[in-house]
Amino acid sequence: MKNITTLDAALKRIEELEKKNAELREELDYWKKRKASGRQKHNAKWMNVYNDFVACYEKGMSVMEIAERNGISERSMYRYKAYYEQMKRGI
């Protein structure tokens, strides 16, 4: 970084730094809002989706239809199905 000797140069540098700060704030907001990956714990949201899965699955809906209905991946629905089958067997 070179020494700033004039007011105009200082103002220009401040403007550059403010622009960079704005970019970094946007990136920080993205990371704060980002959903953590990985499997969810059995929290209230998980239980709501699971209960909906059970109701729909027992009515004869396909796993794909249930996944689309809940906005969840098909793979996640197969995890729900495996959990459902374990509960039915009493394991």
The per-residue pLDDT for 52 is 92
* CATH fold for the domain made of 44-89: Arc Repressor Mutant, subunit A (1.10.10)
In tens, the pLDDT along 30-75 reads 888 876 666 656 788 888 998 999 999 999 999 899 999 989 898 9
Domain boundaries, the chain: 1-34, 44-89
The per-residue pLDDT for 11 is 94
Entry pTM: 0.52
**What is the end-to-end Cα distance of the chain in Å, rounded?**
66
The per-residue pLDDT for 44 is 84
Cα 31 from Cα 1, distance rounded (Å): 29
